[in-house]
């Protein structure tokens, strides 16, 4: 055994003799965190279900937007028809005022 081997062994033997600090009880915080992590791992979020819900929501939003566009298009056609009538006032306020006699 070489000199440096002996020196290293000497150092390792001394290090192995170093006293270790006492092991106290496990802290409540660590226990609670560990259990929470385990609970979360046991009950993972239903990934497929949440994806399905997200897709359904997106489809519903798209459908609602389409219906809204359709309804507003139909309404605009009715307004166009009313505007083409020269006896129809475009401003409902004016027609109310005329009907109540405020404007002759």
1 touches other proteins by CB under 8 A: no
Tokens representing residue 20 in the block: 């270790």
Q: Of 38 and 62, which has the nearer Cβ to other proteins?
A: 38
87 touches other proteins by CB under 8 A: no
Q: What is the dihedral of CA 58, 64, 67, 68, to 10 degrees?
A: -120
Contact 83, 90 (CB under 8 A): yes
Main-chain dihedrals φ then ψ at residue 74, nearest 5 degrees: -65, -40
Distance of CA 103 to the CA centre of its chain: 55
| Minimum CB–partner distance for residue 34 and other proteins (Å) | 5
5 touches other proteins by CB under 8 A: yes
45 touches other proteins by CB under 8 A: no
Per CB under 8 A, residues contacting other proteins are 4-5, 7-8, 10-21, 23, 25-27, 29-31, 33-35, 37-39, 41-42
């Amino acid at each position: 055994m070489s000199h440096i081997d002996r020196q290293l062994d000497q150092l390792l033997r001394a290090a192995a003799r170093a006293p270790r600090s006492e092991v106290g009880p496990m802290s409540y915080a660590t226990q609670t965190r560990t259990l929470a992590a385990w609970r979360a791992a046991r009950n993972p979020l239903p990934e497929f279900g949440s994806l399905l819900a997200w897709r359904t929501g997106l489809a519903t939003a798209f459908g609602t937007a389409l219906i809204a566009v359709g309804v507003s298009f139909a309404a605009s056609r009715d307004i166009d028809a009313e505007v083409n009538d020269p006896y129809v006032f475009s401003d409902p306020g004016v027609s109310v005022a005329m009907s109540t006699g405020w404007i002759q």
